[in-house]
């Protein structure tokens, strides 16, 4: 599918709910319109031998994944009273106090942090989502991604008598898992994968087991770890490192992993037409630099892309400046390749990173000015290369360039460690509508002038593939190529 087909995309453009276009921001949305945002983070622990510590471990794992979502946080767990869930709006440490963590005694805990791309930012959409039957037994689901056949499945389930309590596509996935749960959680996951379409990594728990699975294309990452003989599932390896768990392996695309009383079980589901489609933006921006995805260090991949930018920049600057904090790894690579000093010449105020900013242009610009401040003594009279991971609307680039020039920079050269972002995403990333994307203007000289920069240099797609050591066929690159 290419750009001309976007208007006929069957479900995801219409959306199951109000979605992101025109969405009013609630108190859990933090500067979300400045950058693309990934949907969620998942962390789960199965059968930990110290039940009074499992919630704390999950809390630490969610803190390590906080960059993947700041709207809401939650935990589901199995207690003597049955399946329980605690969740709320805001950051992990706002939702879970020490008192709450100490009150949870459970060997198995499923945690989730959320940034909404389908469904509004309201408490009922916070995850994990729980479904219970009359016997008080049930399942809890945490989901990262976006279903693309949401509308048709939603309408079908309404006709079948399904009642929905949220505006999230996660509830559709939950309803199928709950419907088929009596066949066993693994078989329920098989049935669900056969029905739903889109990008997802998910973990579901019941009273005695945890089941983790990825869509057949593997758009979203999910890994397995081991902590004191307890299995751990997480969206990124950095979360395993945080809690001291050993990395075992990744959940493979289309694979269902079940951790239960009899050990580990693995089942693969094939889907016609599915091909490897890991979201390449995980390497560019979403994942923490200290994570490893598909065997590749995120930091080293970004650093290599930065070094390849050295071939493309049209001038030799006096110094390289990373755009805090997303441009750091690529900036290191560019500085080393050009044998230039890397200067931390833009200070980022760490206390404003989560400040609520409404999504108007004036407020987005204010957010940047509040967050960044250049060090004039380093910049004055210098030609500087500013490195950032991507250029979406161009708000940050324009304001940062203006600030650097006001601080005395002789020239500001923007270096973007990814190709031009030209297409919206339908697989669980909150991207502005196409008309708002800065790189739609393919005259990059004119775009640089509009931003106020002396030059604007993008990485090429082959730079990314070279840095990752794999070809394009392994990744979803729709945001650059338009091939969905």
What CA–CA distances, in Å, run from 202 to 45, 173, 322?
14, 9, 34
Instruction: Give the count of beta carbons closer than 10 Å to the beta carbon of residue 125.
Output: 23
**Contact indicator for 87, 128 with CB cutoff of 8 Å:** yes
**353 preceded by cis ω (within 30°)?**
no
The residue assigned the tokens 């709910």 is: 17
The residue assigned the tokens 């029905």 is: 195
Whether 40 is catalytic:
yes
- With both helix axes pointing from N to C terminus, report the angle between 444-451 and 395-406 in degrees, rounded to the nearest 10: 60
Q: What residues are paired with 373 via a beta bridge?
A: 347
Which residue out of 40, 279, 415, 476 is catalytically annotated? 40
Distance CA 128, CA 174 (A): 10
What CA–CA distances, in Å, run from 262 to 27, 108, 135, 259?
43, 15, 24, 8
Query: How far, rounded to the nearest angstrom, does the alpha carbon of residue 45 sit from its chain's CA centroid?
Result: 20
Distance CA 264, CA 427 (A): 29
Distance CA 377, CA 345 (A): 9
Closest CA to 39 of 212, 282, 270, 251: 282
Tokens of 390: 């991507």
- With both helix axes pointing from N to C terminus, report the angle between 150-159 and 170-179 in degrees, rounded to the nearest 10: 50
The catalytic residues are 40
């Amino acid at each position: 599918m290419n750009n001309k087909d976007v208007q006929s995309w069957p479900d995801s453009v219409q959306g199951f709910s109000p979605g992101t276009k025109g969405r009013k921001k609630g108190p859990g949305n933090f500067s979300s319109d400045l950058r693309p945002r990934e949907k969620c983070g998942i962390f789960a622990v199965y059968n930990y031998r110290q039940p009074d510590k499992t919630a704390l471990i999950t809390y630490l794992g969610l803190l390590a994944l906080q960059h993947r979502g700041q709207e809401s946080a939650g935990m589901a767990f199995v207690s003597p009273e049955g399946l329980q869930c605690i969740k709320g709006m805001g950051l992990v440490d706002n939702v879970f106090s020490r008192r709450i963590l100490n009150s949870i005694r459970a060997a198995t805990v499923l945690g989730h942090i959320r940034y909404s791309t389908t469904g509004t930012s309201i408490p009922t959409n916070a995850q994990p989502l729980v479904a219970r039957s009359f016997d008080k037994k049930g399942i809890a689901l945490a989901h990262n991604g976006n279903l693309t056949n949401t509308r048709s499945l939603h309408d079908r389930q309404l006709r079948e008598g399904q009642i929905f309590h949220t505006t999230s596509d996660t509830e559709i996935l939950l309803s199928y898992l709950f419907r088929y749960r009596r066949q066993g959680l693994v078989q329920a996951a098989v049935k669900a994968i056969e029905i739903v379409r889109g990008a997802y990594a998910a973990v579901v728990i019941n009273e005695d087991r945890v089941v983790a699975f990825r869509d057949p294309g593997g758009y979203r990452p999910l890994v397995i770890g081991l902590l004191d003989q307890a299995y751990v599932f997480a969206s990124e390896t950095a979360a395993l490192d945080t809690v001291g768990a050993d990395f075992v392996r990744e959940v493979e695309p289309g694979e269902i992993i079940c951790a239960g009383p009899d050990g580990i079980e693995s089942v693969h589901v094939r889907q016609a037409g599915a091909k490897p489609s890991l979201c390449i933006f995980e390497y560019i921006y979403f994942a923490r630099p200290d994570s490893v995805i598909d065997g590749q260090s995120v930091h080293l991949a970004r650093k290599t892309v930065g070094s390849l930018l050295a071939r493309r920049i049209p001038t030799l600057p006096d110094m390289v400046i990373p755009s805090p904090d997303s441009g750091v790894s690529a900036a290191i690579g560019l500085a080393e390749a050009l044998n230039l000093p890397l200067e931390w010449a833009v200070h980022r105020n760490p206390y404003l990173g989560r400040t609520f900013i409404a999504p108007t242009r004036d407020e987005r610009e204010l957010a940047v000015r509040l967050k960044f401040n250049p060090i004039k003594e380093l910049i004055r009279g210098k030609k500087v290369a500013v490195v950032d991971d991507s250029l979406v609307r161009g708000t940050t680039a324009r304001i940062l360039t203006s600030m650097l020039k006001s601080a005395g920079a002789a020239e500001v050269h923007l270096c973007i460690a990814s190709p031009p972002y030209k297409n919206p995403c339908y697989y669980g990333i909150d991207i502005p509508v196409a008309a708002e994307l800065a790189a739609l203007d393919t005259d990059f000289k004119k775009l640089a002038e509009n931003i106020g920069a002396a030059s604007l240099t993008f990485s090429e797609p082959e730079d990314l593939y070279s840095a990752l050591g794999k070809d394009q066929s392994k990744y979803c690159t729709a945001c650059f190529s338009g091939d969905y």
